[in-house]
Amino acid sequence: MSEAHTFHPTVLREYDIRGIVGSTLTAADARAVGRAFGTVVARGGGKTVCVGYDGRLSSPELEAAMVDGLAACGLHVLRIGLGPTPMLYFATRDRAAAAGIMITGSHNPPDYNGIKMMLGKGPVYGQQILDLGIIASKADYVSGEGSSEQIDVKDAYVDRMMRDYDGTRDLTIAWDAGNGASGEILRRLTAKLPGKHILLFDEIDGNFPNHHPDPTVEKNLVDLKAAVAEHGCDIGIGFDGDGDRIGAIDHLGRVVWGDQLVAIYAADVLKNHPGATIIADVKASQTLFDEIARLGGTPLMWKTGHSLLKAKMAETGSPLAGEMSGHIFFADKWYGFDDALYCGVRLIGLVSKLNQPLSELRDRLPDVVNTPETRFQVSEERKFQVVQEVKARLKAEGADVNDIDGVRVKTADGWWLLRASNTQDVLVARAESGTPEGLERLKGMVVAQLEASGLQAPSFEDGGSAH
């Protein structure tokens, strides 16, 4: 029962635990995480842990193993069942549990699964995750006779979201759950929201038969765009596989990207929190940071990663933060965690009470052209070295460099970014300008720096994308 356990070297990630089911991630791994994380909770004086799981076919087996491992540490486990990740975050806060664990593969392919954790009110990430591997490798576990019980928090979660709905006119909304874990909650939520609601793919199916559940990739929004056009919707809203990332479409069928959504939300949040710090990651458009400043807020650029942004929010007292990837965090009225369903409620309320279409709110921001995130393979050992080499050259040249997470370089043409991924053996490049010609010059700078470090440059998509 207390044997040492070694995880596959690719499984313990910066922000969570993730692997291919039956290959790099097994039920034995889930049980070992339960033992190791349960030990951390118990040694900290915790007694209760909430556990939930998403709609993947492997999730029930991993959840049962996790509960077994936690109970073996003498903890009481509140099993909330199948639902989105933010419902687990809500349950942990609502039930004042010492910790929460979610079995989820998020937006990864169907054969993946993983584990997200929170301790107290904060995320578990970085060294905390690596420490679980050390505890398991030594079988340095707390032991006890724990217990578990099934609880139902679905109605409480929906009711709490509805408390913050402040719309004043009915809208027509299309929703795409992507066959992910949000389906049942979405049905309960839309039954209470005013207006007309068209639900797509709300049946939870871990095979994801209709499209991949990642609303930040435009090809996954084709069905949502079609529904918006067919039904004359005011807004289209999509979710990823575990409901913590949002995608949005305006009535013209245009994507409203994550940083644009943060700018729209910021205008509303800053009315109640004048001068407040609003945080966004280094991949976000400069137009967002400029807009926050224009609105009287204090823009803060921070590292990419949902756990890192949550931690920075708590540190700064920020009421709102967001990432290009669609993780958006409200501490204004909400709990500071990323919740796409709640973000949907706030977006509908905002558009409703302002009596303006989402397209007008989107178009307040200047048009820019940018590249998509371009990823290319570099070894784990080399990727961080390359970024350091680029940074050293740029600083020697006197360039305007923000090095909070990789290098983000500002020029008269706009900006470009090069950073090492924390979760994959890749470098990520991105560039943005006010003109196509400026974008080409920025792309050329990225290419030149990569070649100076002996790497073949990534091939950016031609022309960039309007944003």
Asked whether the CA dihedral 221, 321, 319, 366 is positive or negative, the reply is negative
pLDDT band at 116 (very low <50, low <70, confident <90, very high): very high
If you ran DSSP here, which 8-state letter would residue 373 be given?
A: P
Yes or no: say if 48 and 80 are a contact pair by the CB < 8 Å rule.
no
pLDDT of residue 456: 78
Read off the pTM. Answer: 0.94
- Per-residue CA distances from 175 to 45, 206, 276, 312, 329 (Å): 42, 18, 31, 31, 20
Yes or no: say if 94 and 60 are a contact pair by the CB < 8 Å rule.
no
Residue 301 φ then ψ, to 5°: -85, 130
pLDDT of residue 3: 84
Least confident among 15-19, 254-258, 349-353: 15-19
Residue 30 φ then ψ, to 5°: -60, -40
How many other C-beta atoms lie within 10 A of the C-beta of residue 13? Answer: 18
State the average pLDDT for the chain. 94
Number of Cα atoms under 13 Å in the Cβ half of residue 86: 32
- Per-residue CA distances from 415 to 369, 418, 433, 434 (Å): 11, 10, 7, 10
How many angstroms separate the CA atoms of 286 and 415, rounded? 8
User: For residue 460, is pLDDT > 90?
Assistant: no
Mean pLDDT computed over 125-142: 96
**Sequence-separated (6 or more) residues with CB below 8 Å from residue 10:** 19, 24
Residue among 207, 144, 198 nearest 174 (CA): 198
Which residue has better confidence, 135 or 13? 135
pLDDT of residue 380: 80
Coarse DSSP helix, strand, coil percentages of the chain, rounded to the nearest 5 percent = 35, 25, 40
How many other C-beta atoms lie within 10 A of the C-beta of residue 181? Answer: 35
Q: In which residue are the tokens 């100076």 written? A: 452
Burial of 129 (0-12, 13-18, 19+ CB in 10 A): buried
How many angstroms separate the CA atoms of 310 and 335, rounded? 10
- CB-based burial, 311-336: b 16+ in 10 Å, e otherwise: bbbeebebbbbbbbbbbbbbbbebbb
pLDDT in tens, 166-213: 999 999 999 999 999 999 999 999 999 999 999 999 999 999 999 999
pLDDT of residue 457: 66
Q: Provide the 3-class DSSP secondary structure of residue 119.
A: strand
pLDDT in tens, 395-442: 999 999 999 999 999 999 999 999 998 777 889 999 999 999 999 999
Least confident among 14-18, 96-100, 453-457: 453-457
How many angstroms separate the CA atoms of 450 and 259, rounded? 27
pLDDT of residue 466: 33
Q: What is the largest CA-CA distance in the chain?
A: 67
Least confident among 40-54, 291-305, 374-388, 440-454: 374-388
Reading the block at residue 102, the tokens are 């979610």
User: For residue 223, is pLDDT > 80?
Assistant: yes
Mean pLDDT computed over 258-263: 96
Q: Provide the 3-class DSSP secondary structure of residue 450.
A: helix
Which residues, listed in sequence order, are joined to residue 338 by a DSSP beta bridge?
329
pLDDT of residue 435: 96
pLDDT of residue 467: 40
pLDDT band at 458 (very low <50, low <70, confident <90, very high): low
pLDDT band at 461 (very low <50, low <70, confident <90, very high): low
How many other C-beta atoms lie within 10 A of the C-beta of residue 353? Answer: 13
pLDDT of residue 463: 34
Q: What residue ranges in 296-425 does DSSP mark as E strands?
A: 298-302, 320-322, 328-330, 369-370, 374-377, 400-402, 407-411, 414-420
Residue among 149, 153, 167 nearest 77 (CA): 149
Yes or no: say if 117 and 99 are a contact pair by the CB < 8 Å rule.
yes
- Per-residue CA distances from 317 to 121, 276, 451 (Å): 14, 8, 41
How many other C-beta atoms lie within 10 A of the C-beta of residue 45? Answer: 7
How many angstroms separate the CA atoms of 169 and 139, rounded? 58
Q: Which residues are catalytic?
A: 106
Residue among 165, 330, 170 nearest 235 (CA): 170
% of residues, the chain, pLDDT over 90:
90
